[in-house]
Structure 1
Amino acid sequence: MSAASTPRRRADSPAARFAREFAESKLALVGLLGFVVIVLAAVFAPLITPQNPYDLGQLDIMDGRLPPGSAGGWGFTYWLGTDDQGRDMLSGIIYGLRTSLGVGAMSTVVALLVGSSVGLLAAYYGGRVESLVMRVVDLQLSFPAILVALILLAVLGRGVDKVVIALIIVQWAYYARTIRGSALVERQKEYIEAARCLALGDRRVLFRHLLPNCLPPLIVVATVQVAHAIALEATLSFLGVGVPVTEPSLGLLIAEGYGYLLSGDYWISVYPGVALLIAIVCINLVGDQLRDVMNPRLRR
């Protein structure tokens, strides 16, 4: 084998081909860069923010409702202004993104595991199992997600863990329906029949052969659902049934500043809303390109 053939083979690898096709969209690259910046800012929030916005010892009520660019009593500049409690809005937004990303990622991962397992079993075994699972899925999807989440939180109460549980219950049905449709197609293919003829066992056929070939649509749906979960958490917190007031949340920041819009203190509510919008748009841009790359028929 010649040395000149090695780079070509690497360039033709699935990972290289995926990266090349994903990079064809400049918007997707911008979205990916923005998402990476948001994640890094959220992870390293205690190191990069000038204050902990939820530590009462670091707040000064005399710095309340200062406009963007004002100098505060703590010796640093409030680049995005402060809220009515003297909380630095930039710090509050970064900490709020930390909560939103954590809730969105955790609920999406658990809902993905639960929904994909249930949908995969339903498609593989069929019969009454499939009918029962899909009737439950259809029943849940017939109600708006925000309504289901509101009812659940009215029963469970407020709290980050309660919001995660509510979002898991809201989301799992999307994954169950998605993987069930893909598994029904894959189940009829020859490699599944060959695995059954070799008596490999249902568990091995399900998770070693059937599941890997159903992953592409699941990845796309998961990307979209992360953005949906972040928006839903912010909505629930805005309505006062999500995370408690002692926890950072973009929804709470927007709600707290909503009453000051008419008085001209727009930054208290607008800037957290813009940050939420940017995060959701970045995730959706990445998700749209993933959908196109993983389904070549959409590119025609």
Structure 2
Amino acid sequence: MSEPDPGLSSGAVVAEPETLHAPPPRLSSPLARLALDFCASRPAVAGLAVILVVAVAAIFAPLIVPQNPYDLAQLDIMDGTLPPGSPSYAFGTYWLGTDVQGRDMLSAIVYGLRISLLVGSVSVAFALVIGSAVGLVAAFFGGGLDSLLMRIVDIQLSFPAILVALILLAIFGNGVDKVIIALVIVQWAYYARAVRGSALVERRKEYIDAAVCLGLGTRRVLFGHLLPNCLPPLIVIATVQVAHAVALEATLSFLGVGVPITEPSLGLLIANGFEYMMSGRYWISFFPGVALVVVIVAINLVGDRLRDLLNPRLQR
């Protein structure tokens, strides 16, 4: 019979393998770490979920909602101003009621969200491209060109956005494309100033001097080296400006200078039911207003979380 190992006495502690206490593997991808940190915030995740649901509903609106609220063949004037939960002979139930023209409010809101998201995303995309190019050129070349471009930006930002948009739409007229053009003119200056501030910091670093000394073209230096290092503030500003553009489009449509009455818009839906609020038909304006607020709050929640993650000063 073999003797017991003296190292395994009753008072000895058996050493566990090092693999059991190995630290969890770190994510190598910065994008994966950003996604993991983003998901740590429940409000931000809830906001992103709302945005995704709204986007899917808006894109596939003809397949989801029971009625095209802007097809006169599907409307019945006898169903006008029905309260929420009223029965419908065509498709079951008006869950959110109807407006004066007999349009299903749920269908009208989903179709209105299509215009809001289209105007917000497209206007921000064009304003981002124009503003980023202006800011990069101003910071890279400096001198008189920088002063000229920044004075234009200062003049642009000195006027309220709603006032500039109203003046432009009074000149251009109604239309979705006109609203997008007006919002691009209103928003591009925000990106120009933000990009210039970040690019001035990056312009003094050695890698930019090295790229210039190597004889790389100006376009490659600007958009291949300088712009990628200015993206974090741009992402935050673009997210916030989408919410601003959605609210601004709804305001312009409410005032009657935005999209025409033949196009679905949350602002128009709110305006159409505003005069019926005092008579107790609250749902015509209330539910589109709630949808507008929910979308804007959801976008702002995502933007605030991205600001916390992409701002190095807030991470210290």
TM-score when scaled to structure 1?
0.96
Does residue 167 of structure 2 align to residue 114 of structure 1?
Answer: no
Determine if contact 1:50/1:76 at 8 Å carries over to the other structure: no
Q: CA deviation at 1:12?
A: 3.0
Secondary structure of 1:170's aligned partner: helix
Which entry has the higher C-alpha Rg, 1 or 2? Answer: 2
Q: CA deviation at 1:198?
A: 1.0
Determine if contact 1:63/1:73 at 8 Å carries over to the other structure: no
* Distance of 1:243 and 1:104 partners within structure 2: 13
Determine if contact 2:66/2:91 at 8 Å carries over to the other structure: no
Aligned residue runs from structure 1 range 203-218, under 5 A: 203-218=219-234
- 2:292 aligns with 276
* Distance of 1:73 and 1:155 partners within structure 2: 44
- 1:181 aligns with 197
Describe the superposition over 1:69-112 as per-residue Cα deviations: whole angstroms up to 9, x where unpaired.
Answer: 00023142000000000000000000000000001111000010
Unaligned ranges ≥5, structure 1:
none
RMSD: 1.3
Does residue 25 of structure 2 align to residue 8 of structure 1?
Answer: yes
Which range moved further: 192-201 or 81-90?
192-201
Aligned residue runs from structure 1 range 120-159, under 5 A: 120-159=136-175
Matching residue within 187, 210, 216 for 1:194: 210
Paired AA for residue 25 in structure 2: R
Q: Which runs of 4+ in 1 moved over 4 A?
A: none
Describe the superposition over 1:137-188 as per-residue Cα deviations: whole angstroms up to 9, x where unpaired.
Answer: 0001000000000000000000001000000000000000010000000000
Does residue 33 of structure 2 align to residue 17 of structure 1?
Answer: yes
Q: CA deviation at 1:29?
A: 0.4
* Distance of 1:231 and 1:97 partners within structure 2: 12
- 1:95 aligns with 111
Paired AA for residue 186 in structure 2: V
Matched residues, percent identical? 71
- 2:62 aligns with 46
Secondary structure of 2:73's aligned partner: helix
Matching residue within 219, 225, 248 for 2:235: 219
* Distance of 2:232 and 2:312 partners within structure 1: 12
Unaligned ranges ≥5, structure 2:
1-21
Q: CA deviation at 1:296?
A: 3.1
Q: How many residues align?
A: 295
* Distance of 2:164 and 2:31 partners within structure 1: 39
Does residue 163 of structure 2 align to residue 163 of structure 1?
Answer: no
* Distance of 2:41 and 2:205 partners within structure 1: 33
Matching residue within 267, 272, 286 for 2:283: 267
Matching residue within 209, 234, 246 for 2:250: 234
Does residue 121 of structure 2 align to residue 105 of structure 1?
Answer: yes
TM-score when scaled to structure 2?
0.91
Which range moved further: 79-88 or 13-22?
13-22
